[in-house]
Copies of this chain bind each other. A is one copy, B any other.
Amino acid sequence: MRDVRVQELSSHDGEQVRLKGWVYNLRGKGKLLFLLLRDGSGICQCVVLKNELGEEAFQVAKGLTQESSLQVTGTVKLDERAPGGAELKVDGIEVVQIAEPYPITKKEHGPGFLLDHRHLWLRSKRQMALMRLRHRVVQSFRDFLDGEGFLCVDSPIFTPNACEGTSTLFETDYFGERAYLSQSGQLYAEASAMALGRVYCFGPTFRAEKSKTRRHLTEFWMLEPEMAFADLDDVCDLAEGMLRHTISQVLERNAQDLADLEQDPARLEGWNRAFPRLPYDDAAQLLLQWKAEGKYESDFEPGDDLGAPDESMLGEHYGCPVMVTHWPAAVKAFYMKRDEQGRALGVDIIAPTAGEIVGGAVREDDHDVLLQRIQEHQLPVEAFQWYLDLRRFGSVPHGGFGIGVERTVSWLSGVEHVRECIPFPRTIQRLSP
């Protein structure tokens, strides 16, 4: 007897196979039962006929509760109408465990209840689809970068200094010293890039922000590629290439998940084209014009950072991710290199409906300029000595970007709240299960 997973079923037409999984749903009448079995790779419709199975086994099948675990044997039959393109004609059922009454039912549950039961909620169709999408995003990011010659060089989580203030940092006692949980691996990734040329770090990131929005988690996963000998175009090309690769992979390999999430693939296809690149000044002019024309409302004034309505408006106008470059230095980080007009050589990628998903930049590579910036920002120079060293021993133009996994999943899935885009969300109000 061949053990197969639901996702492989359609390549076993006519064969007798065994599936192992859980009851997702059970309905039927008289001598016929439709058992939806989920095994993590997909959901299969199993057709149970009393005449095939015999009275005793049929009664066992009828008594299966939601989320009961079982093994089912039967013959695969291709059927376009079935989810996944195949169903199973059951000839045997072996029950592993009859589940107790399952707390998550078809009725509407509030988010608090669902989050309290996150360990079970993950078994719902939509949540499984989101986790498979998240996997594909992580895999696509890595595969793309590996293919471009990047090396995974992880930055540390424990950092000794609260470089930019402690207000949004989680702190821990580190054998008598204070340590802080990293908010970004970028500075270390710069050091790694000077050694290995093209690198990325990819790990959890921690922010003790008291933000209670649908876009904030206290713990989220961030990818940060960094490359030596790179200018702003290189950074933009890399981010665009990686995002388009990811969109392609999702379209090619997660069609069922998009369907489960009620997402039209055409939406993603529309994003898979050259991302417009426009300098901040041009973006600002457009926004002012749209404001004047009454197309949207905003407090935006030239020189400001973009707010949520401004990002929405830009995303809506272009219908695909937009790269806004050459920012007013005042709204960007101290380490960004500036051009001759004093603009920060940064790039934000604004995605339709999702807002900012990527923040990137060319880094200041001149020792004296960087030192001056650190002093201007009243940062502790001593803590940055190793970072300044990178500008003393073979400094080169370099840059990179950061992208959050959960915001990317939220964007691609159309699921607005990032708390559904990570297996076990941590927010200002939630630390369990």
Q: A204-B154, A228-B20, A229-B20 are in contact. Are A119 and B390 (CB under 8 A)?
A: yes
The CA of A45 and the CA of B210, in the complex, are separated in Å by 54
Q: What residues of chain B lie closer than 8 Å to A389, measured between beta carbons?
A: 119-120
Q: Give chain B residues whose Cβ lies under 8 Å from the Cβ of A131.
A: 151, 153, 192, 195-196
B7 to A122, Cβ gap below 8 A?
no
Which one of A128, A172, A426 has the greatest number of beta carbons of chain B within 10 Å?
A172
Chain A interface residue bracket vs B: 35 or more
Q: A392 interface residue, CB < 8 Å from B?
A: yes
CB of B102 within 8 A of CB of A156, answer: no
Contact of A393 among B120, B149, B155 (CB under 8 A): B120
This protein's copies in its complex: 2
Q: Could you tell me if A395 and B122 are in contact, using CB atoms closer than 8 angstroms? A: no
Are B219's CB and A39's CB within 8 A?
no
Chain B residue at smallest Cβ distance from A69: B394
Please indicate the chain B residues that have their CB under 8 angstroms from the CB of A127 in the complex: 195
Contact, CB under 8 Å: B160 / A431? yes
User: Is the beta-carbon distance between B155 and A423 smaller than 8 angstroms?
Assistant: yes
Return chain B residues, CB-CB under 8 Å to A40. Answer: 151, 193, 195-199, 228
Contacts of A213 in B (CB 8 A): none
Contact B135 A139, beta carbon cutoff 8 Å: no
- Cβ of A256 under 8 Å from chain B: no
CA distance A49 to B67 in the complex (A): 75
**Nearest B-chain residue to A102, judged by Cβ:** B393
**Whose C-beta in chain B lies nearest to the C-beta of A116?**
B386
- Give the residues in chain B near A135, CB-CB below 8 Å: 151-153
Give the residue name and chain of the B residue nearest to A174 (CB).
B431
- With the chains together, A96 CA to B395 CA distance in Å? 8
Structural contact, B158 and A426, CB atoms closer than 8 A: yes
Contacts of A218 in B (CB 8 A): 158, 174
Please tell me if A177 contacts chain B, counting CB pairs below 8 Å. Answer: yes
**A97 near B: Cβ within 8 Å?**
yes
Which positions 108-142 of chain A face chain B at CB distance < 8 Å? 117, 119-120, 122-123, 127-128, 131-132, 134-135, 138-139, 142
Q: Is A41 an interface residue (CB 8 A)?
A: yes
364-411 of chain A: CB within 8 A of chain B? 386-387, 389-390, 392-397
A123 near B195 with CB under 8 A, answer: yes
Residue of B177, B199, B221, B394 near A22 (CB, 8 A) is B394
Whether a CB of chain B sits under 8 angstroms from the CB of A194 is: yes
Give A229 Cβ to nearest chain B Cβ, in Å.
4
Query: Which residues of chain B have C-beta atoms less than 8 A from A260's C-beta?
Result: none
Q: List 17 A-B contacts (CB under 8 A).
A: A5-B149, A5-B197, A21-B197, A23-B394, A39-B228, A40-B197, A69-B396, A97-B395, A100-B392, A119-B387, A135-B151, A139-B152, A142-B142, A156-B426, A160-B432, A161-B432, A192-B423
Contacts A40-B228, A154-B422 known; list 20 others, CB within 8 Å: A20-B228, A22-B394, A40-B193, A41-B198, A68-B394, A96-B397, A99-B392, A102-B393, A119-B387, A123-B194, A127-B195, A138-B152, A139-B142, A153-B423, A179-B431, A188-B424, A191-B433, A192-B423, A203-B204, A386-B433
